[in-house]
Structure 1
Amino acid sequence: MVKRNIALCIVLSLVTCGIYAIYWMIVLANDTNAASGHAQDGTSGGIVFLLSLVTCGIYGFYWAYKQGEKINEAKAMRNMPADSNSGILYLILELFGLGIVAYALMQSELNKMA
């Protein structure tokens, strides 16, 4: 797991018209799988991107919700306080077109664990 500068990730996502956001989603999925112990059985970042592409973004909503659950599992493994509503928050942000905010919140939680 790598600590990433959230502000830089947001700026790069905006400057590259979302191409960096795709990369960021892929590494978020992989880092969350590693942190929560789902590295072998979890959906890899590349598969998450492909499924989101094939389903016209619908899988992205499900992925955002599951990210909240996996981050809570990773926090519980580290005896950190977990917020049971984070998956719902990420889902709502994705539904309203604020996926980059959800990515920033996910990255913030992963940075705390790194």
Structure 2
Amino acid sequence: MIKERSVLIVIILSLITFGIYPIYWYYSITEELSAATNDPHFSGAKALIFALITLGIYVLFWYYIVGQKVAELQRTHNFQVKDNGVLYIVLSIFGLSLVSNAIIQSELNKLVPVVQLNGMNLHS
């Protein structure tokens, strides 16, 4: 299930924790997207390990995958599809990962009610 988070809080926590919160956010978003898209291979632990091993280069690939996963959920739930994976990568390359994170969180927040409703219907 995808958790709704305030975009402003994500930005503020990212700044006041000097980049520690984005690591938690990165893990959480990966786990939530994995569950929402039924993709057990896309896991938060793997993503963090790959990011550490590649000294952060994997995060660029992660942004692309997240763009694909969000677009998949938008398509599944009849939303206008916005595959922003390349945008996330470009922003990140120019040091604007925080902007990418804000856009991702904003897009996920739009999907929360629909994904939760469908999740409850699956378990009923």
TM > 0.5 between the two? yes
Partner of 1:104: 102
The AA in structure 2 aligned to 1:20 is Y
TM-score by length of 1: 0.91
Task: List per-residue Cα deviations over 1:14-49 (Å, max 9, x = no partner).
Answer: 1111111100111111122222232x2x32112211
Any gaps of 5 or more consecutive residues in structure 1?
Answer: none
Structure of larger gyration radius: 2
Deviations 1:45-97 (A, max 9, x none): 1221111111011100001011101110011110111023x111111111111
Q: Determine if the alignment matches structure 1 residue 73 to structure 2 residue 72.
A: yes
Sequence identity of aligned pairs in percent?
Answer: 38
Q: Over aligned residues, Cα RMSD in angstroms?
A: 1.1
Aligned length, in residue pairs: 111
Q: Counterparts of 1:34 and 1:93 in 2: how far apart (Å)?
A: 26
Q: TM-score, normalised by structure 2?
A: 0.84
CA distance, structure 1, for counterparts of residue 103 and residue 35 of structure 2: 18
